[in-house]
Amino acid sequence: MKFRCERDVLVEALGTAQRAVASRGGALPVLSGVRLEVAGGSLHVAGSDLDLTIQVTVSVSGETDGVVVLPARLAADIVRALEPGAVMLDATDDEVRITSGRSNFAVRLLPAADFPRLPAPGDQADAVTLSASELNEALRQVVRAASSDDARPILTGVLMTAEEGGLRLVATDSYRLAVRDLPGTTVLREGQKVLVPSKALTELQRLLSGAEQVTLRLAEHDATFEVGNVRLTSRLIEGEFPNYRQLIPSSYPNRLIVEKEPLLDAVRRVKLLVRDATTPVRIALRPDGIELTVITTEVGQAVEDVDAKFEGGEMTVAFNPAYLIDGVEAVAGDEILLETIDALRPAVIRPTEGSEYLYLLMPVRVS
């Protein structure tokens, strides 16, 4: 294999594919590498950890076709460190020479035959095209509520389910729940649902930034997203997602409307006294506004008032401040609506206009 490519193009391709590379090779050392295949004037770069695969295609000046696997981090670091301009890669049976200007590196190869088979592109007839910006915004609002605890794999995924009139995205870590509807978006068959790992969707968000559209293909065991010259394929999570509908109350007697940024600023300030995840922020709900309080026995106390409109019975509710910030940040618009039943049952954060998004948050019991 031999080809020439501009450094910046190669840096971006290697960096994108590297995001799917296993942090540790484990039982398959080859998974710590990136697969490079030259066919004519195209270079295909791929990284995979078996669950997530990212493939990038770029144009190069190809001299000899072939396939090699390079140590991912080392290859990316070397190319990134080179002077701007053309880079030549020339592979033999056991090493690849990377040359540019006066720089010359020889890097040992990983066995290409051990690299897992790459997912096929899929049938074009099964492809669905979505607005990249709309999907990116929905993922921004929902992925944050997924769990990062691999001990409960079901909760590390985002449920994509066909709803009447569109697509619904749902995520929960059992402490909070995010639901976002995409009206008019038809991706799944009626009644169909899939569970996509949040890790894959986090990587997809990076690709969607600045893109116009994304193509989605669903197979029995995986989902493929194509954005420009990048194809991301993720294995789906198997299992039954929790019945989230039963967690959402049908009505709330208490309604708080507050400006988003002043609330975020105030929560971030009082949160400075929080020393561990068990310390909540208390919110006293009153007709003339709210009072935020954080009490940390060994540190001290922080109190701040925020202007707001409140309808309902005066009460004090308490939340994990990080989860509260996540929910408020996710809401689009300048104001948020916080609805509660009482201090012990879930509260809902949503925009004051529109019904496409809600963020349900479990309260913290305080004395």
pLDDT at 134: 93
Q: What pLDDT is recorded for position 26?
A: 65
pLDDT value at position 166? 85
Instruction: Name the band, by pLDDT with cuts 50, 70 and 90, for residue 220.
Output: confident
pLDDT at 125 over 70: no
* pLDDT attached to residue 249: 86
Dist. CA 233–CA 225, nearest whole Å: 6
Q: Order of strands, edge to edge, in the sheet holding 230-235? A: 66-71, 33-39, 42-48, 52-59, 230-235, 222-227, 213-218, 128-131
pLDDT at 131: 92
Q: Is there a contact between 130 and 187 (Cβ–Cβ < 8 Å)?
A: yes
- Over residues 279-307, the mean pLDDT reads 94
Torsion of CA 250, 256, 258, 263, to 10 degrees: -90
Q: Give the per-residue pLDDT at 121.
A: 73
Domains of the chain and any CATH numbers: 2-114 (3.10.150.10), 124-245 (3.10.150.10), 249-361 (3.10.150.10)
CA–CA separation, 218 and 271 (whole Å):
42
Average pLDDT over every residue of 92-117: 95
Non-local CB neighbours of 250 within 8 Å, separated by 6+ positions: none
Any bridge partners for residue 262, and if so which? none
Compute the average pLDDT of residues 40-52: 95
Task: Kindly report the average pLDDT of the chain as a whole number.
Answer: 93
> Tens digit of pLDDT for each residue in 189-205?
777 889 999 999 999 99
The DSSP bridge pattern shows strands 166-172 and 103-108 to be: unpaired
Per-residue pLDDT tens over the stretch 223-280 = 999 999 999 999 999 999 999 999 898 889 999 999 999 999 999 999 999 988 889 9
Looking at residue 154, its pLDDT comes to 95
Average pLDDT over residues 45-50: 96
pLDDT at 45: 98
Q: How confident is the model at residue 122, as a pLDDT?
A: 63
Residue 100: CB atoms within 10 Å: 21
Q: If pLDDT is split at 50, 70 and 90, which confidence band does 28 have? A: confident
Residues 6+ away with beta carbon under 8 Å from 49: 20, 21, 22, 23, 31
pLDDT, one tens digit per residue, over 59-82 is 999 899 999 999 999 999 999 999
pLDDT band at 319 (very low <50, low <70, confident <90, very high): very high
pLDDT of residue 366: 85
pTM of the model: 0.90
What's the average model confidence in pLDDT over 96-115?
96
- pLDDT for res 24: 67
